[in-house]
């Protein structure tokens, strides 16, 4: 947590779901830029946090990524979805309970500003949004790192 949240602040929150090993932030400029933008927003505002959701979207973390990659490179399977079924790893086995527990500790007033990449990210992250709602977190403001073109 950067800064100290009091009852008059709505901390900025970014949930980072990608694995550090395969997508974020090491390999692609876009992902590095999103991290940089998130950090800058939090510093400018004065209070916020970036939570890394372990094994986000991979279920088994680096092990699943390595097997997934190996099977693709050997051309034994054609895509990542088939690979996951073969190795019995489901999509998005995320620990929202642990993430929410951390967030409750740092943001006890349960009012936050939420960083998302784009407006359609909300549709892709329904489980996260629902987990926040289930725990009575109020999203006071949505902060989008980029706007989508229509």
Going from the N-terminus, what domains does the chain have, and what CATH number goes with each?
A: 1-57+92-150 (3.40.50.10990), 58-91 (no CATH)
Q: pLDDT digit string (tens) for 131-149?
A: 999 999 999 999 999 876 5
Give the pLDDT of residue 84.
Answer: 62
- Say what the pTM is: 0.70
What is the sign, positive or negative, of the torsion defined by CA atoms of 142, 25, 56, 82?
Answer: positive
Give the pLDDT of residue 34.
Answer: 87
- In angstroms, rounded to a whole number, what is the distance separating the alpha carbons of residues 141 and 29? 26
CB atoms within 10 A of CB 140: 11
In sequence order, the β-bridge partners of residue 143 are 115
First to last CA, the chain: 35
Contact (Cβ atoms closer than 8 angstroms) between residue 47 and residue 108 = no
Residue 25 has pLDDT above 60, yes or no: no
Q: pLDDT digit string (tens) for 73-98?
A: 887 766 666 656 666 655 555 678 78
User: What 3-state class would DSSP assign to 135?
Assistant: coil
Give the pLDDT of residue 58.
Answer: 46
Give the pLDDT of residue 116.
Answer: 93
Identify the residue with better confidence: 55 or 54.
54
What is the sign, positive or negative, of the torsion defined by CA atoms of 69, 70, 75, 77?
Answer: negative
- In angstroms, rounded to a whole number, what is the distance separating the alpha carbons of residues 101 and 96? 8
Contact (Cβ atoms closer than 8 angstroms) between residue 137 and residue 112 = yes
Tell me the two tokens of residue 82: 């088939």
Task: Give CA 75 to chain center in angstroms.
Answer: 30
| Average pLDDT over every residue of 8-32 | 72
| E strand or H helix that includes residue 118 | none
| Average pLDDT over every residue of 55-64 | 54
**9-23, 113-127, 131-145: which has the highest mean pLDDT?**
131-145
């Amino acid at each position: 947590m950067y800064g100290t949240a009091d009852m008059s602040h709505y901390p900025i929150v970014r949930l980072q779901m990608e694995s550090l090993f395969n997508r974020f932030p090491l390999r692609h400029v876009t992902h590095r830029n999103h991290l940089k933008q998130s950090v800058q927003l939090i510093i400018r505002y004065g209070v916020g946090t970036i939570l890394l959701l372990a094994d986000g979207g991979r279920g088994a973390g680096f092990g699943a990524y390595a097997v997934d990659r190996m099977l693709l490179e050997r051309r034994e399977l054609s895509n990542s979805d088939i690979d996951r079924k073969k190795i019995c790893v489901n999509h998005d086995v995320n620990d929202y309970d642990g993430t929410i527990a951390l967030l409750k500790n740092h943001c006890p007033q349960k009012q936050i500003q939420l960083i998302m990449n784009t407006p359609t990210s909300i549709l892709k992250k329904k489980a996260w949004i629902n987990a926040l709602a289930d725990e009575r977190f109020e999203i006071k403001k949505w902060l989008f790192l980029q706007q989508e073109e229509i």
